[in-house]
């Protein structure tokens, strides 16, 4: 599992950064956004899933704006924990 941050432009300038979790499966990649439940993407490669999750986030936020819904502020982050497998 890997995590990155996805920067989304905002109306009126500026940007918002959401954490995206990427998971490599046996034959494809998946991605989801913890701060935006239901926003997911699947692709054949990490490059493809990165592009698709960006589009999915933008589409989701556009729909929320059109419905007059509040856009959630990013609050999630991801880290990496290193362990000794022999311990």
Give the chain's domains with CATH numbers: 2-66 (3.30.160.250)
In angstroms, what CA-CA distances link 26 with 29, 36, 41, 65, 85? 8, 25, 16, 36, 23
Quick one: DSSP state of residue 62? Answer: H
What is the distance between the alpha carbons of residues 75 and 85, in angstroms, rounded to a whole number?
A: 31
| DSSP 8-state assignment for residue 34 | T
pLDDT tens digits, 13-62: 678 899 999 999 999 999 999 999 999 999 999 999 999 999 999 999 99
Higher-pLDDT residue of 54 and 8 is: 54
Q: Which of 21, 35, 33, 32 is nearest to 70 (CA)?
A: 35
Residue 3: band (very low, low, confident or very high) from pLDDT cuts 50, 70, 90? low
Closest CA to 21 of 48, 43, 45, 40: 40
């Amino acid at each position: 599992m890997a995590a990155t941050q996805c920067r989304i432009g905002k109306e009126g300038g500026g940007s918002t950064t959401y954490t995206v979790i990427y998971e490599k499966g046996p034959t494809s990649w998946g991605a989801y956004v913890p701060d935006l439940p239901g926003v997911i993407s699947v692709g054949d490669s990490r490059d493809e899933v990165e592009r698709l999750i960006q589009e999915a986030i933008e589409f989701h936020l556009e729909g929320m704006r059109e419905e007059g819904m509040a856009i959630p502020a990013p609050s999630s982050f991801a880290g990496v924990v290193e362990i000794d497998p022999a311990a």
